[in-house]
Amino acid sequence: MRKEIFPLLGGMLIFLSGCAVYKISTQSLTDQLRNSSVEGKAYIGNPESVKGNNLETLQVVDKKGATKTLPVTYRTGIRITKTDNSRTSFYANTVLLKDSALVGSKTHFFNAQIHPIRLSEISSIEIMP
């Protein structure tokens, strides 16, 4: 009996500690980025080597459709799915709007820019706090 409880409790902990994923529309993200400014984000060395936004919060939608305000930290991730079903993940505090494309960095340690993603190619955007 006791041996059966531990796997059950472990499974429940994994289920309950699942990572929440929030959605944001392309228009909402671009509007929020237009109201931000550019700043350095690097951990080591020259802080200007990795550029990012100064957003402190993001307005997102949870799986029930309710609007939430999430804090943007160094760990907040963003995953963009393009219309061809390819996905790109990077840090939310490094995303910048350049012309009609989003750019960002996969790390805070050095400039590891993603390929620019045109706004017209975005199918969905997910935020992982």
- DSSP assignment, residue 75? T
What is the chain's percent helix, strand, coil content, to nearest 5?
A: 25, 35, 40
**Domains in the chain: how many in total?**
1
Distance CA 76, CA 68 (A): 15
8, part of any domain? no
> For residue 34, what pLDDT is reported?
95
120, part of any domain? yes
92, part of any domain? yes
Mean pLDDT by 10 residues, the chain (129 residues): 51 53 96 93 71 94 95 94 97 94 89 92 97
Q: Which domain holds residue 78?
A: 20-128
> For residue 16, what pLDDT is reported?
44
**Contact yes or no for 20/129 (Cβ under 8 A):** yes
> For residue 81, what pLDDT is reported?
98
> For residue 15, what pLDDT is reported?
46
122, part of any domain? yes
4, part of any domain? no
36, part of any domain? yes
